[in-house]
Structure 1
């Protein structure tokens, strides 16, 4: 299952309806001058940084480095910018000067696609565009695009038809397009954490659409993230870990809210089986991709996929509000 913005993934966006993800900061630490932060947007989504540092000027410098890196990665992954590498790939069907970050992330996306049996598929963009375009029309059929049209567009979908090489990416079928909305904000979060660690900073909380924590808060306690839809299982204490949430109705195509943005590549139609899926994992890239893939998978299949990724936990909340826990938190 791949999709666009899950509430952060607005009509093109990169990341999720974070109905469920709330940062729990330490006001005392902020008053003590140890906790420094920034809030803004990254790839159209709400974003923030929190870092622990005794020197305010140095903290500002580090935040500036992070924002420059986010801007650089937006020029790679954005679907809004006409000059981004991903937009150029979708327009031309190939990219012979592909940035290393795009090659790396598309290779990782292909690996998640294989592991999930195609539930996560970066080439689902034409189907998303079909549904968005259909419901943007006045008097659109509330039943959605015509089945024949869906089937025609579905033939453009298939991660196996993406050729990824050193500095080169190409689509094997004319008309194919890719979206990295189910993984890119996790990837950007990881890159920012890596940048700060290279600068010698160990205590940070980074949210570039998905959340990852390193070290601890100034008071020595773990960073915490609230999971509103995980019942008694939240909040999560994060130390050297990440969390991502995917919500079926974080973004919807139609006014009635029947057609969510998470599309099943096998049917060409929206097909989330869970109201929300939250995943804890060692990296934000993994958490992001798995939260998207698991949204369309029944319990047994979800457990099988999660078992392939050590150190992961999933909270699957159904329409009835009941939450199933898989992985480490369930004793798996």
Structure 2
């Protein structure tokens, strides 16, 4: 499994009851290795069809930028170490990754892709080819400083996809929608039910999600390689300290990246990071090794 974090969110299975609204329209697909579900409340049939058609185009675009398993801009960047005239989406995700790298004291680092591949393949891990300082970009070119460097956006791209779908919904004048790309973003003020669960599917908390995004990371939910190591890893080899972290934020990409990094951060580091993001909240925090 190519995702560095695993969402266990038995979330938002149904909208809260709302008098006078039409039944929920539902659309399903896949992108970036995750199931995608859109639940649209109170829209006309014409609106729903038009939006779902655009959603398919949006997800295809996300794959063309960030997939690690089919032809994409990211795959080309990793193969040759450079990318000329990057798309706006690539620049946006690089900039957000840089922000999260600084906020988390360097813990969020997309250059761990070579470590992930080594761990998955059971080979020696070399940290000589990691380090966010080795990535440079402008609107003309993205460059990786050393041979063997490679990036993964699997800790943030699913959230970014949810945000792109939210923008598409706004273009269609849709205001009541649940987007689940592996990360969840809810539009509308009425609220959607959500359940937060750990890596074993045990529900720990219930909440109402309204005009907000939610992401959950569980390092032990997916283990990789012959040593069955957690799929969320740090460039400095620190182990995951949390079984499960759930974060809510105004944007799904921000919640996604934070939940990934916070799994590797001490409580003190987490406090410092979250102080820089007052609009974000940790909704669920389960220490590693705590029995359910």
2:216 is matched with which residue? 245
Query: 1:27: Cα distance to partner?
Result: 8.8
Separation in 2 of the partners of 1:254 and 1:246?
Answer: 19
Separation in 1 of the partners of 2:31 and 2:208?
Answer: 24
Q: Conserved in 2, the CA contact under 8 Å of 1:42 and 1:209?
A: no
* 1:208 is the counterpart of 2:181: yes
Q: Conserved in 1, the CA contact under 8 Å of 2:215 and 2:256?
A: yes
1:1-332 correspondence to structure 2 within 5 Å = 10=1, 12-13=2-3, 16-26=5-15, 33-81=22-70, 83-134=71-122, 145=123, 149-150=124-125, 153-216=126-189, 221-229=190-198, 234-254=205-225, 257=228, 259-267=229-237, 271-314=239-282, 315-321=284-290
Unaligned runs of 5+ in 1: 1-9, 135-144, 324-332
Q: Conserved in 2, the CA contact under 8 Å of 1:189 and 1:212?
A: yes
1:330 is matched with which residue? none
Query: 1:167: Cα distance to partner?
Result: 3.4
1:162-200 CA-to-partner distances (Å, cap 9, x unmatched) read 011013100111110000011111011001001111221
Query: 1:320: Cα distance to partner?
Result: 4.6
Q: Tell me the secondary structure at the aligned position of residue 224 of structure 2.
A: coil
Q: Conserved in 2, the CA contact under 8 Å of 1:103 and 1:168?
A: no
Q: Conserved in 2, the CA contact under 8 Å of 1:103 and 1:165?
A: yes
Pairwise CA RMSD of aligned residues? 2.4
Unaligned runs of 5+ in 2: none
Query: 1:157: Cα distance to partner?
Result: 0.4
Q: Conserved in 2, the CA contact under 8 Å of 1:24 and 1:225?
A: yes
Q: Conserved in 1, the CA contact under 8 Å of 2:16 and 2:193?
A: no
1:8-42 CA-to-partner distances (Å, cap 9, x unmatched) read xx2x24x742224422304977xx74311112211
1:5 is matched with which residue? none
Q: Conserved in 2, the CA contact under 8 Å of 1:53 and 1:59?
A: no
Q: Conserved in 2, the CA contact under 8 Å of 1:186 and 1:284?
A: yes
Q: Conserved in 2, the CA contact under 8 Å of 1:33 and 1:56?
A: no
Query: 1:224: Cα distance to partner?
Result: 1.9
Query: 1:251: Cα distance to partner?
Result: 1.4
1:118-176 CA-to-partner distances (Å, cap 9, x unmatched) read 11101000000111111xxxxxxxxxx5xxx43xx201101111011013100111110
Query: 1:309: Cα distance to partner?
Result: 0.7
What count of residue pairs does the alignment treat as equivalent? 289
